[in-house]
Structure 1
């Protein structure tokens, strides 16, 4: 038995020993692996739950529904609004903590209503050492179980397990809630979230794979993966994206020649990824 197989089996046995679990499910690779393991171990007693809010792109919600169907797991969707929290809207260094506390709170409430005693998330063994991650504090405070972390399953091993389960998201890039595109200290508003989502939908239509549109109070800073920079400099794309983003309310449109970097608007070099979008962090 390989190391990965041993860890996989330990995580599956861990979940099988529980009466049932609700998984905080974004449709990213981490939460999808937890969902697949839980469904394998518990069958209909495993429930994937996605929290829908203004910070979750519609495309990610659709992807979560598709992946849940792919796994065959029961999928619940609950709705809430981070924008009802002044602490979240303020967008300080602990924004992810406030978001995660609310989002996991919805999971815990769903679990209570369903008579399920355990809520799981997709925090993996690499996450605690990955920089500024205040959302992990919420996981600890709310006693949410992280089977990938508990059994020392790294991100690379998560992707290997996803491949073993033939999950379509095995190679999916990390995703993060839309608020991670707004620099710390600049208020999170529905208007900003909406124009970011629409701007990123445009880049997705052009076939870009790893990218962000950062909203610097009306200045759109586009980041794409280094190997996609050349395409982003093509005149047709430049002219189209400039015109389209201007109609969305951006006063200026720029391309960051450093390329895509996680956490480039956070107080440190790293942020946490989605909730609801990847299991724990934002970038």
Structure 2
């Protein structure tokens, strides 16, 4: 008996999550067998070949020796027919395997069909990928929940904590969980210094009030550390050490046992000299100890209906000045005014890097096209010159964290 074989393969993002679909029918259109499988991360062409090979194997295993194959991939059909050469090394291996299987078949024909005629196989492809993604999602949710429980256990063992609270995604999430676990044995301490913006301070007050914890503002008018002012690569070490010594004094005055900060596991990937200071002062990073990533913290924050779940990251203003260029209050104010102006224009994630008389603006790559608007160019240029910059530039590499560390 001759059977009709329909196969399809697909990859999302090419390469990306891929699946195959196989449908075997008799010559009256009755389905004999159908299957869909997730095959991992592959290209479209590899997925198409693997689907075709799987279909041939299934037909042979079922004892069919007369097969008419229908594929919507013109490339595969033409290569099997010998009209197109197989140039890709990965496809050469799959092409040979397919041809070897065809040699075992008594009567074989392959034809190219329109995608609309291959709907069933296409459906099986997408179903396989979707089910795998759901399975992965559920597995990730389970792992994340396990990390959350570990975080709660870590905090419970501390008995009382002072959270170094910036009002960012991480420290706000940490404060929320600490409040849930330790109730009134939690205080939040926020530094009000010239290296932070007024907006960040105001937001931290609002979040602390919303969570319902005692919130202490630590004013620091000046940092006179030589290494900080001269902006050496380990600037953060000296700054953190001074600030956390002051936080420790406040914690001691409130009979708090542990000082915690919002560092997460992703922070280990970047150059972070400040972490050395935290270790020396016995400051604990519970999010990091629980193995939580930035994305997981955002995910959990969203599930808890926290407004900070999608808040952009904003590091200290000093991080916008190249190493070994002196840090001054005037430079920091220029940066703050520049970034606040960009925020007012609708840019959520950005940086204004201060290179003397030059401002280097970083925004996400997919937003760079907004600057093709000459009215926007004029508006930004004029404002930045009013702020004190002589030249205004746009970084074509786009926004990225730690761009000042690229020279290290």
Query: What's the TM-score once normalised by structure 1's chain length?
Result: 0.90
Give the corresponding residue for 2:91. none
Q: What SS is found at the alignment partner of 1:126?
A: helix
- Of 112, 125, 149, the residue aligned with 1:9 is 149
Q: Which has the higher contact order (CA 8 A, sep 6+)?
A: 1
Give the corresponding residue for 2:356. 217
Determine whether 1:250 maps to 2:389: yes
Determine whether 1:37 maps to 2:159: no
Give the corresponding residue for 2:286. 147
Question: Is the 1:226–1:260 contact (alpha carbons within 8 Å) kept by the matching residues of 2?
Answer: yes
Q: How does 1:229-248 map to 2 (within 5 A)?
A: 229-248=368-387
User: CA separation in 1, counterparts of 2:230 and 2:346?
Assistant: 33
Q: Which structure 1 segments of 5+ residues have no match? A: 270-283
Question: Is the 2:298–2:309 contact (alpha carbons within 8 Å) kept by the matching residues of 1?
Answer: yes
Give the corresponding residue for 2:260. 120
User: CA separation in 2, counterparts of 1:11 and 1:142?
Assistant: 21
User: CA separation in 1, counterparts of 2:400 and 2:172?
Assistant: 24
Q: CA deviation at 1:174?
A: 1.5
Give the corresponding residue for 2:206. 66
Give the corresponding residue for 1:198. 337
Q: How does 1:145-184 map to 2 (within 5 A)?
A: 145-184=284-323
The root-mean-square deviation of aligned C-alpha atoms, in Å, is 1.5
Of the structure 1 ranges 1-10 and 158-167, higher mean CA displacement relative to structure 2 is found in 1-10
Q: CA deviation at 1:262?
A: 1.8
Give the corresponding residue for 2:98. none
Give the corresponding residue for 2:14. none
Question: More strand per residue: 1 or 2?
Answer: 2
User: What do the CA deviations read for 1:219-255 (whole angstroms, capped 9, x no partner)?
Assistant: 1111111111111331122111111111111111111
Of the structure 1 ranges 156-165 and 90-99, higher mean CA displacement relative to structure 2 is found in 156-165
Q: In the comparison of the two structures, how many residue pairs are matched? A: 268
Query: What's the TM-score once normalised by structure 2's chain length?
Result: 0.63
Give the corresponding residue for 1:75. 215
Determine whether 1:136 maps to 2:275: yes
Q: CA deviation at 1:81?
A: 4.0
Query: Which contiguous aligned blocks of 4+ residues in structure 1 show a shift greater than 4 angstroms?
Result: none
Q: CA deviation at 1:183?
A: 0.5
Q: Which has the larger radius of gyration?
A: 2
Give the corresponding residue for 2:232. 92
Q: CA deviation at 1:198?
A: 0.5
Question: Is the 1:132–1:268 contact (alpha carbons within 8 Å) kept by the matching residues of 2?
Answer: no
User: CA separation in 1, counterparts of 2:320 and 2:201?
Assistant: 18
Q: Which structure 2 segments of 5+ residues have no match? A: 1-140
